[in-house]
Structure 1
Amino acid sequence: MGNILRVLYERCVEPITSEESGSLGPHGVSAATIGVSALAHDLFNFEITSQVPEGLNQHVKSSRKAQANWYRKISEAWRQARPPPNTAEEATRLIVETLKGHQKADVEGLLAFYGLPLPHTIVQISAGVPTSLPEGVLFEMQTLPVDARAVADGDTITVYVSTDSPRESACVPRDVQEAAVQRTQARAERNYKEADALHKKIINAGYRVINLPNNEEVLARKYRIRLRGIDAPEGEMPYGEESKQELLKLVQGKSLRILVYGEDQYGRSVGDIYSNGIFVQEVMLKKGGAWHYNAYDQRLELSTWEREARAKRVGLWAAPNPEKPWEWRKDRREGR
């Protein structure tokens, strides 16, 4: 447990620049990193010393003994999380769920101590992972952890699925299998030029050899995924970059469950995406990161989530009259 927390702490803490130095929290890290990194640091320290951080008494009313009980519970919940929280919202959800039987003022005080968002500012998730495959699903996939570079915009990502999975193992082309074996042999012989050439052949066939954190290599198939039912601003449009970053926060480093319903005209698999049990399209709509693409998906809940974001004027709805991405693309095609 301690090692997990230490690694997360070291990963989250970023160097503090002179521009950031004026906005430091109680742990001496920048405002951008204070939440998750400081909490990870204190949980790691608690595992070693059983001591809660100094200064917490200024934010909560309960005794030090009660505070220690919180940290024990949070440490256990953190250990069981797969993967552990990596964003401020994920950390808030974990704390709120773990301490849901405790005083509201204490929970909010603990969140404030770490600069984490309060519960009422977090998007409330109503849709969970289906317990059975919904009608219309062609197949489902469980991806390898998603790389940051895989997110093209707010509604399209590239994922990889291990060929060890039953569905994939049955359809790997023979030449790809042979190239993967030959590449392993070439690397063992330190013939890296040949290994690189073989990997290029694998990539051109729609596969890739992925290096996992445990130094294991796995052959994986590439899929481009179009998020079903939403349409995000294009990168050149207002709020295009913000939409992309919102999706990135939801999927980066996560192994996703994707329910595939079909394929679009560009060869992308169209599907619903679940990240740590969260329906990604729901969050994107509720945060104003995308439009409901009702020309292709008439689900009433998607329309409801878009209306909620419009009413709150969050995300792209902060603009008085945001341009519809499908109209923007049409104008570009027609040279307007």
Structure 2
Amino acid sequence: MGNALRFLYGECCSKPTTTTTGGGGGGGGGNWVNQHQHQSHAAHHGVTTGGVSALARDIHQFELTSKVPEGLSKHVVSSKKAQSNWYGKLCEAWAQSQPSPNSSEEVSKFVIDTLKGHKKADVEGLLSFYGLPLPNSKVENTTGHAPSVANGAKYELDTLPVDEKAVADGDTVTVYVSTLNPKEAACVPKPVQAAAVERAKARAQRNYTKADALHKQITDAGYRMLNIENHEILARKYRIRLRGIDAPESSMPYGKEAKEELIRLLVGKSLKVLIFDEDRYGRCVGDIYCNGVFIQERMLKKGLVWHYGAYDKRPELEKWEKDARQKRIGLWASSNPEKPWEWRKNRREQR
């Protein structure tokens, strides 16, 4: 099994196409692997390699040292002893697999099958740690009311935890998606990959002026280096406009309350976002789910946003707004609250 793991690790990691820059391309694959190993858990931040090779490396390391990877406990709920049990099972299963899995989908299925019977949160946390596909792409719904997620969505995002500063108001949030995600990894521009690697080198040399300049290059391209659990993660930025709702502007009644509620619902949590369109400001228009909760539903039922009926005809959203109106919840405590789109129109006409 060790030979099979080393082969897979070598196959995935020995090609420096996504990590070498400038005049450093003359080194061989072995030198690159040595550099990769020296970077410890760099494989988990998406700059140097993908989840397949990272898992292969960690299984191989467990076979040699009986140690689970550092940082995994932040993604799963079970103890280190349980984690050791998982890696022991993965070692045995990999040895018996014919042929060994080698794509992200195959490896994800391998993990799910091997750890069948273990806590779902642990299995999904392990997959998330390596940026591997989750068991299915359907969004779980614990409320029983969310609209169908397959109704015209163009693509789906699984985000990193949301920062409080990322919530602009009651209907707009900025999210980041790790480039360990297979879909994102395939789209990272080579200049961004190169800048991320050079920035890591500059920081190691304490050349923070150069590192800051490289980070500006990364952010200007729509990416960012995030520090997650003491590991640098290259992530792509998405601005999300919540589909089908319109929150009061910050200076309107309940504008502050709408923003505070969205912060309470999202901050510190990873989200599933279904993208349907892009608005004129370049924001992605999408539905947001957090731990199975449909966020637009929650905001409408609390009476903190309007159903944006001019652009979204879903009857569910109309009903949730109507129910809040009848109960005089939130902004509906007023007999005639001003519509945010009319408020904006009036401000434009006054200029």
TM category (shorter chain) comes to: 0.5 to 0.7
Query: Who is 1:238 aligned against?
Result: 253
C-alpha separation in 2, matches of 1:172 and 1:234: 35
- 2:226 is equivalent to residue 210 of structure 1: yes
Identity of aligned residues (%): 63
- Aligned residue-pair number: 215
C-alpha separation in 1, matches of 2:331 and 2:273: 26
C-alpha separation in 1, matches of 2:304 and 2:265: 12
Please report the RMSD computed on the Cα atoms of aligned residues, expressed in angstroms. Answer: 2.0
- 2:157 is equivalent to residue 141 of structure 1: yes
Pair 1:129–1:178, CA change in 2 (3 A):
farther
Aligned partner of 1:151: which letter?
Answer: V
Deviations 1:140-173 (A, max 9, x none): 0000000000000100000001111122111111
C-alpha separation in 2, matches of 1:146 and 1:127: 24
- 2:346 is equivalent to residue 309 of structure 1: no
Query: Is the Cα contact below 8 Å between 2:167 and 2:259 reproduced in 1?
Result: yes
Query: Is the Cα contact below 8 Å between 1:258 and 1:271 reproduced in 2?
Result: yes
Query: Who is 2:308 aligned against?
Result: 293
Query: Is the Cα contact below 8 Å between 1:125 and 1:283 reproduced in 2?
Result: no
Query: Who is 2:234 aligned against?
Result: 219
Query: Is the Cα contact below 8 Å between 2:143 and 2:292 reproduced in 1?
Result: no
C-alpha separation in 2, matches of 1:128 and 1:181: 42
Matches for 1:127-276 after TM superposition, within 5 Å: 127-128=145-146, 133-212=149-228, 214-276=229-291
Query: Is the Cα contact below 8 Å between 2:167 and 2:174 reproduced in 1?
Result: yes
Q: TM-score, normalised by structure 2?
A: 0.59
Displacement, 1:125?
Answer: 3.2
Displacement, 1:128?
Answer: 5.0
**What SS class does the counterpart of residue 126 from structure 1 fall into?**
coil
Matches for 1:17-32 after TM superposition, within 5 Å: none
Query: Is the Cα contact below 8 Å between 1:125 and 1:282 reproduced in 2?
Result: no
Identify unmatched segments of 5+ residues in structure 1. Answer: 1-76, 84-123
Pair 1:202–1:334, CA change in 2 (3 A):
same
**What SS class does the counterpart of residue 350 from structure 2 fall into?**
coil
Deviations 1:177-229 (A, max 9, x none): 111000000011111111111111111111100111x2111100100000000
C-alpha separation in 1, matches of 2:204 and 2:145: 48
**What SS class does the counterpart of residue 161 from structure 2 fall into?**
coil
Query: Is the Cα contact below 8 Å between 1:163 and 1:219 reproduced in 2?
Result: yes
C-alpha separation in 1, matches of 2:338 and 2:272: 31
**What SS class does the counterpart of residue 334 from structure 1 fall into?**
helix
Query: Is the Cα contact below 8 Å between 2:225 and 2:232 reproduced in 1?
Result: yes
Identify unmatched segments of 5+ residues in structure 2. Answer: 1-118, 126-141
Aligned partner of 2:143: which letter?
Answer: I
Higher relative contact order (CA 8 A, sep 6+): 2
Aligned partner of 2:205: which letter?
Answer: E
Query: Who is 2:294 aligned against?
Result: 279
The partner residue of 2:344 within 329, 332, 336 is 329
C-alpha separation in 2, matches of 1:313 and 1:211: 43
C-alpha separation in 1, matches of 2:171 and 2:343: 15
Displacement, 1:314?
Answer: 1.0
